[in-house]
Amino acid sequence: MVSAVVHTDDEGVDNGPVVDYNGNPVDKSKTGGWLGAGLILGTELAERVCVMGISMNLVTYLVGDLHLSTSSSANVVTNFMGALNLLALLGGFLADAKLGRYMTVAIFATITAAGVSLLTMATSLSSMRPSACDSVRVAHHECVAASGDQLAMLFVSLYTIALGAGGIKANVSGFGSDQFDNRDPREEKAMIFFFNRFYFCISLGSLFAVTVLVYIQDNVGRGWGYGISAATMVVAVVVMLVGTPRYRFRRPQGSPLTVIGRVFLSAWQKRKLPHPADPSELNEYHAAKVAHTEWFRCLDKAAIQACNTSSSKEGGNGGACDVGEAATVTEVEEVKMVLKLLPIWSTCILFWTVYSQMTTFSVEQATYMNRHIGSFVYPSGSLSFFLFISILLFTSLNEKLLVPLARSFTRNVQGITSLQRAGVGLALSILAMAVSAAVEKKRRDSSVHDDTKISVFWLVPQFFLVGAGEAFAYVGQLEFFIREAPERMKSMSTGLFLSTLSMGFFFSSMLVSLVDKATDGGWIKNNLDKGRLDYFYAMLAVLGAINFGVFLVFASRHEYKVQSYDVSKQGKELESWKDDGVDEQIKGMDV
């Protein structure tokens, strides 16, 4: 039986019919479901293998093979990751406005495959690297750095990967959720398991990258490691394309970014007009789906029905107002809701600045430590294994222990609120940086004064703490932006969340450059034994504490949006979802 599937949001807004690849109403027995979603998960798995396999060990290649300075290498990595997450906004915009999720994922996955292939060439060709150094110069970090020509191909490949991976990241989870009909109770519950398995694929791909691929990069060759990543991405693209007849497709309905831009532009153009005496004079005031508020009153001018005086004089429209140029009250209020998220958004950035240290300086620290386990040398980039293990451990503990325990005390379906989760993550990041400073001081003192190398596993606590923090911060921030954003802008809210990651990485680059300049290179030297990286970590801990205080002020003043959820059904639905082993906190999250 062929049936047309229509996806709606919580306010009942029609998100458009879901069709098959021929544009016909979908046959639910032949399209979508776990087969279609599973093929899509393969694309995300491959993207994680590529990105994590590059970012977690890139700094050792930049310092050891290309002979860049420690600070410059750290900035290359953080700028790459920042650009990747920022470009997710572009991928989301193209999918919503024009291409649709399937076409966007297919195009950007192909771009990623091309970028990783180019990176494989850049790291395999001897002409793309400077000449090797003798042991004396290596010890003093005085080798000749790679030239601009040698770095050009590397940077082109990295930012090609950033472009492609950003487009995948913004759309692959949404395209996977399109394979399930959220009006069908059985498919809605299956969609919840899809998000669990989506996160599992992210973690699985990351673990493979930081163990197997990093080992191959260090012991077999960079070209081999990146070549495997390129092959994985090519296979994922082929598998996705082969599965085209099995997918359900949703036609693009227009990007929320267009609405936001139109509201700001209209408000600016009408900035000299007086506010109406009665808000009911605003465009579509009585038909608004969101109640009018007094917040950011300057934006209300976008909904003023400005009269076209020139047409009036010519008698063209009899002096009627040109409503077509006015935004609706609903659009204006939705933009206001987005602006109310920005204070929390700004205080979430620093967590990802702390996280970025796990891919840069912490990896470089490991190269100065004893990495031997018998005859086996533990790869520096594989320390991130403890980061992802910590994430998986605390994610499981949250679902199985913390949330049920919190529910028994708060009688709240979520257990703890999204901002409480984010706050725990921020607190753990402060502790992580304090521990990092103490460990680096011990490492440096042992190396400089005792001429001994302490075990690399002294770094495990900071990776473990940051991983635990991410388990809280990632879920809390993502849930906050999705639940608190306007219903019709949920796809954009994912991009807003990803932009905190982007800004966190960019802020790390800026901070490293400022500290390097302010200390005249005293804190962050090519030879960590001659620098004071522990001071840098301590500074991040202090900044984190200040940021946490500001976060608490904003969080205490934030008024949660009233969710369109029937409270009278909450108890019955909670018991039903418990019986199916699904955590209620994920319900309703269109990631």
154-168 confidence digits (pLDDT tens):
999 999 999 999 888
72, 177, 534, 558 from 362: Cα distances, Å = 15, 36, 11, 35
| Structure-token match 């098959």, residue found | 20
Backbone angles phi, psi at 178, to 5 degrees: -65, -15
Task: Say what the pLDDT of residue 137 is.
Answer: 53
Among 64, 59, 92, 91, which residue's Cα sits nearest to residue 78?
A: 59
591: its two tokens: 């990631």
The pLDDT of residue 170 is 81
Report the run of H or E that residue 377 belongs to, with start and end.
strand 376-377
pLDDT at 20 (0 to 100): 73
Residue showing tokens 């990041």: 429
Q: How far is it, in rounded angstroms, from Cα 385 to Cα 362? A: 13
Tell me the percentage of the chain whose pLDDT exceeds 90.
27
Take residue 440 and report the two structure tokens written for it: 């680096």
Q: How far apart are CA 60 and CA 41, in angstroms?
A: 30
Q: Identify the pLDDT of residue 309.
A: 43
Q: Dihedral through CA 539, CA 540, CA 541, CA 546, nearest 10?
A: 90
Structure tokens at 452: 């001994």
Tell me how far apart the 2 most distant CA atoms of the chain are, in Å: 92
Rg of the chain over all Cα atoms, to the nearest angstrom:
26
Domains of the chain: 18-254 (1.20.1250.20), 256-308+323-331 (no CATH), 336-560 (1.20.1250.20)
Residue 442 to residue 407: CA distance in whole angstroms: 42
Cα angle at 43 between 39 and 44, to 5 degrees?
A: 115
pLDDT band at 384 (very low <50, low <70, confident <90, very high): confident
Containing H/E element for 80?
A: helix 70-94
* Contact assessment for residue 543 and residue 350, using Cβ atoms and an 8 Å cutoff: yes
Query: Which stretches within 178-308 are classed as H helix?
Result: 185-208, 214-219, 222-242, 256-269
Inter-residue contact 529 to 449 (CB < 8 Å): no
Our measurement of the distance from residue 396's CA atom to the centroid of its chain's CA atoms, rounded to an integer in Å, reads 20
What is the distance between the terminal CA atoms of the chain, rounded to a whole angstrom? 29
Determine the pLDDT at residue 259.
Answer: 84
Nearest to 582 by CA among 21, 189, 283: 189
Q: What is the mean pLDDT of residues 320-331?
A: 69
**DSSP of 478-536:** HHHHHHHS-GGGHHHHHHHHHHHHHHHHHHHHHHHHHHHHHTTTSSS-SSGGGS-HHHH
pTM assigned to the model:
0.77
Distance (Å, whole) CA 186 – CA 566: 20
In degrees rounded to 5, what are phi and psi of residue 307?
Answer: -80, 140
Query: Over 50: is that where the pLDDT of 570 sits?
Result: no
**Short-list 50, 81, 43, CA closest to 226:** 50
Q: Which of the two residues, 51 and 27, has the higher pLDDT score?
A: 51
Q: Which residue reads 């901002």 in tokens?
A: 419
Does residue 77 surpass a pLDDT of 70? Answer: yes
pLDDT in tens, 260-305: 888 999 888 888 888 888 888 888 878 778 778 878 888 888 888 7
Which of 209-213, 431-435, 456-460 is predicted least confidently?
209-213
pLDDT confidence of residue 317? 43
Instruction: At 131, list the tokens.
Output: 């000449």
Strand, coil or helix: 38 = helix
Three-state SS across 209-229?
A: HHHHHHHHHHHCCHHHHHHHH
pLDDT value at 583 more than 60: no
Candidates 322, 376, 361, 547; CA nearest to 462 is 361
State both tokens at 28.
Answer: 């639910």
Q: Quick one: how many helices (H) and strands (E) in the chain?
A: 20, 5
187 in Cβ contact with 180 (< 8 Å): yes
Residue with tokens 């390097």: 516
Pair type for strands 372-373 and 249-250: unpaired
- Sign for the CA dihedral angle at 476, 478, 480, 482 comes to negative
Between helix 418-449 and helix 460-484 the angle, nearest 10°, is: 160
Are the C-beta atoms of residues 263 and 296 closer than 8 Å to each other? no
390-394: average pLDDT = 84
Q: What is the mean pLDDT of residues 516-524?
A: 89
64 pLDDT higher than 70: yes
562 by DSSP, 3-state: which? coil
Would you call 415 exposed, middle or buried from its count of C-beta atoms within 10 A (0-12, 13-18, 19+)? Answer: buried
Neighbours of 101 (CB within 10 A): 27
- Predicted pLDDT at 542: 97
Highest mean pLDDT among 189-198, 417-426, 433-442, 482-491: 433-442
